[in-house]
Structure 1
């Protein structure tokens, strides 16, 4: 082959290689632009909560404005319920301001999932698990009020009779502290028809329990040494079977804690059974009731999960345990969000197991929506 032919062949091969590379580049470009609408701008696909944790057929979603949006598949609301990514994982965000419209008879706002079925503790075989981190609790509130600067992140709720709560899982952190406390409550299922004398008993998981409060409105107790910081992950597992509730709490770098509570046989049936913590917190304000002997037997119960803000704007003179006197800006959500007067909880994983004996919980929503 002469020199001229060799040169022509080389040129042909180079041109062919360039065409092939350009073709691959264009193909990749077309793939990368597959989410465009002909404008050259990439369309960002919305990641819904149901993409992160696909279990929303088992729940109805209550928002921080008191509305019930039903099943939250392919749903978001940028004020209360949406997803975010922290650089490692997708999370579901639940937000609830200090003041606004509430659901049912509660004084507090919530963005929370409520189970669409109810189960009975004596025949239950039901479970809820979650991994989460609390990102914000209210910046204001009377430090002497036990519920101030707190949010409930998981519950068992009764759908019947007094609609009391055999379980509430709290996170609470005072302003200026790095670490907060995780604790859980059992609320008695008050004997008789008058539920005004009901009370909670609080058990510490990491840090303090509910009863540790400030000495005055703006003076805070000592920071817990073994507490959980904002943005620090922890997990809970709630299992109810044959009338017994078993709780497990885990977090990296913290001791795993387990607890057991009988939901069908009360330990608080006489005045003498009222524990010292309750004598300190609730008895002075007239909440000194006793519990039904069979506790929550025969009542349909259901799980809740999300951000149930425990801080509100009501005066502590009304109830020194639950009325926080916090800033609400007259219910203006944007103002509350701008200066930290809200609760925000992120969930990374969660699961629910529903027993075969569970039945529709629609009656609860009919009463409370």
Structure 2
């Protein structure tokens, strides 16, 4: 082969190589584009399409309104566990709070309120709790706990006829699920209000540590972090019915009259309350009609019950936990937060429900 022929052959080879390189580059660009399309954000409202019924409060105290096609990587987003998409609610021990609460929350609040006597309203959810605070005084009943569902009054004292808790002490594999009824205190002074706690799986609220850093016995029938459970809340004609289910656990049901109180005299205060709340001055009685005549509404999410306030202020609700001065990322880094994942949820709203805007206009302030 002469020199001229060799040069032509080399040029042909270079051209072929260049064409192949361009083709490969084009294919890589196409693959990258496809990957980006595949990694497109999945919004919470695509996972559980019921967000028109709620306003979303974030762990920084802000109300972002109806959260269709919304995410916030610090507090509210979606994730996939390899099988299902989940909506993540995450909130630190310390930071800005919503309304008058001492506790942070990333939580949905219903845009309508209904009246227990004429209600026919329902909330369901399937969830798993992924984290509760790593720190907190074990003698404080609220330490290491998160509320994952509520009924809240929008009127008068704005008390809570239902709070569904999950609580797990450090070092334990299993935690407890329990629910609270808070009395709707008679009169204008609400300082004497108290909760009565009912165990679902594991312990109730009143089971605490003997010292700041010692824990009670681990519940044998408890729920582990990451273990799925469901709740169903129905309020119809003044009666609240609760149903709790989880694979491998006994299904539990409860009923509570929301329009006729069983706690109208001091003699009616149950033993659990006598031990837990009365010693700190919370010894009120309930109005005879309980929550009748007051607008109530559902809440769902992660309402962190652990905070940094001194237990000397209130031995039931002030945890003395680590908050890093409100630095959210430091709290997330060392486990001082609550995180709850929801897979499904539904809400049924009765025709008698009315706007709940008054509650938001009163409470939409960052503390």
1:261 and 2:250 equivalent? no
Q: How many residues align?
A: 339
Distance 1:259 1:35, change over 3 A: farther
SS at match of 2:207: coil
1:292 and 2:287 equivalent? yes
1:36 and 2:33 equivalent? yes
| Structure 1 outlier segments of 4+, above 6 Å | none
Per-residue CA deviations over 1:31-73 (Å, capped at 9, x if unaligned) read x948829xx9656210000010010000000000000000000
Name the residue aligned to 1:346.
341
SS at match of 2:117: helix
Determine the C-alpha separation between the residues in 2 that align with 1:278 and 1:132.
29
Name the residue aligned to 2:220.
225
TM-score by length of 2: 0.90
Name the residue aligned to 1:328.
323
1:73 and 2:68 equivalent? yes
Distance 1:68 1:41, change over 3 A: closer
SS at match of 1:365: helix
Q: Give the conservation status (yes or no) of the 8 Å contact 1:35–1:44.
A: no
Name the residue aligned to 2:3.
none
Out of 224, 238, 245, the residue aligned to residue 240 of structure 2 is: 245
Name the residue aligned to 1:187.
182
Determine the C-alpha separation between the residues in 2 that align with 1:344 and 1:149.
12
Task: State the 1:330 CA deviation.
Answer: 0.1
Q: Give the conservation status (yes or no) of the 8 Å contact 1:185–1:200.
A: yes
The answer for unaligned runs of 5 or more in structure 1 is 1-25
Determine the C-alpha separation between the residues in 2 that align with 1:270 and 1:351.
38
1:94 and 2:89 equivalent? yes
1:161 and 2:156 equivalent? yes
Q: Give the conservation status (yes or no) of the 8 Å contact 1:115–1:303.
A: yes
Name the residue aligned to 2:166.
171
Name the residue aligned to 1:105.
100
Out of 114, 125, 128, the residue aligned to residue 130 of structure 1 is: 125
Per-residue CA deviations over 1:242-283 (Å, capped at 9, x if unaligned) read 000000000000000000000000000000000000000000
Out of 269, 274, 277, the residue aligned to residue 279 of structure 1 is: 274
Per-residue CA deviations over 1:318-361 (Å, capped at 9, x if unaligned) read 00000000000000000000000000000000000000000000
Name the residue aligned to 2:7.
none
Distance 1:295 1:77, change over 3 A: same
SS at match of 1:36: helix
Out of 229, 235, 238, the residue aligned to residue 234 of structure 1 is: 229
Determine the C-alpha separation between the residues in 1 that align with 2:148 and 2:104.
13
TM-score by length of 1: 0.90
Determine the C-alpha separation between the residues in 1 that align with 2:136 and 2:290.
33
Determine the C-alpha separation between the residues in 2 that align with 1:318 and 1:293.
30
Instruction: Give the RMSD, CA atoms, in angstroms.
Output: 1.5
